[in-house]
Amino acid sequence: MSETTTRTPKPGASPTSSMQLSAAPPGVRRRPAITVVAVTLLALGAVAGWMVWSSEDSTIEVLAARAPIARGEVIDKADLAIQRIPDDLGWSVLPASRLDDVVGQRAALDVAAGTAISAAAVAEASVPGDGFAVVGVTLETKQAPGMELLVGDKVTVVVTPASPTDSGKVPDTTDADIAGVRTDPETGNTVLDLVVPDAQAPVLAARVASGNFAVVLRSRDR
């Protein structure tokens, strides 16, 4: 008769089968590379969003010329566009909110396409203003300066001697601003609309009617 001896595991010891490590279920294992990429993308997205917000926050909407606007032209809504520029450039430009105020005004300066419009580039459309009158003057080539005359130019109308005996006298003059310039299609002569004070309008009209005068360009705002 034989005896069977059963070994009792020592306290704290586990059977051989229990020493096998359980494998982690598929999909539970962490992948450090993917985690780093995800965090990096999130950080880049946050930075890009901040840059966009910061860029928009530091710009302002202003009025700009959609197409070239010549000095003296009445500004139409189709001539204007809205663009964004940095608000720290120090330019004196008109905000987009002034659109309705600018439409119908005259351009005081030449404005290139795409250029922001400054307050100095816009003038009152009404010509002449109170206390002023417009005198039409037709110029032959010999009576005009070599430079092309433009709206806004400041000129002086000088009375020229009617005869050689008058050449020693100081000529009479009248200062004026040009409000309009066109070419006579029949003669090719230049026709000016000159703005002068009311009191000087009759005098200037009489002087130019004689034909003995010349126009001198004094200054031009460019």
Sign of CA dihedral 141, 145, 147, 151: negative
Neighbours of 98 (CB within 10 A): 16
Q: Are 114 and 64 in contact (CB under 8 A)?
A: yes
Q: What is the pLDDT confidence band of residue 19, given thresholds at 50, 70 and 90? A: very low
**Tokens linked to 51:** 């840059």
Query: 136-154, pLDDT tens digit by residue?
Result: 999 999 999 988 898 888 9
Average per-residue pLDDT for the chain: 79
Task: Give percent of the chain with pLDDT exceeding 90.
Answer: 40
Judge whether residue 124 has pLDDT over 60: yes
> Three-state DSSP class for 153?
coil
Q: What is the pLDDT confidence band of residue 1, given thresholds at 50, 70 and 90? A: very low
Name the more confident of 151 and 103. Answer: 103
Burial category of 197 from C-beta neighbours within 10 Å (exposed 0-12, middle 13-18, buried 19 and up) = middle
- Give the mean model confidence (pLDDT) for residues 178-189: 90
Integer Cα distance of 171 and 157 in angstroms? 10
Judge whether residue 70 has pLDDT over 50: yes
Sign of CA dihedral 71, 105, 114, 220: positive
> Three-state DSSP class for 2?
coil
Q: What single-letter DSSP state applies at residue 105?
A: P
- Give the mean model confidence (pLDDT) for residues 158-166: 77
Q: Are 149 and 107 in contact (CB under 8 A)?
A: no
Block residue for tokens 């034909």: 211
pLDDT at 12: 53
Cβ neighbours for 76, distance < 8 A, ≥ 6 positions apart: 103
pLDDT at 29: 53
Neighbours of 173 (CB within 10 A): 14
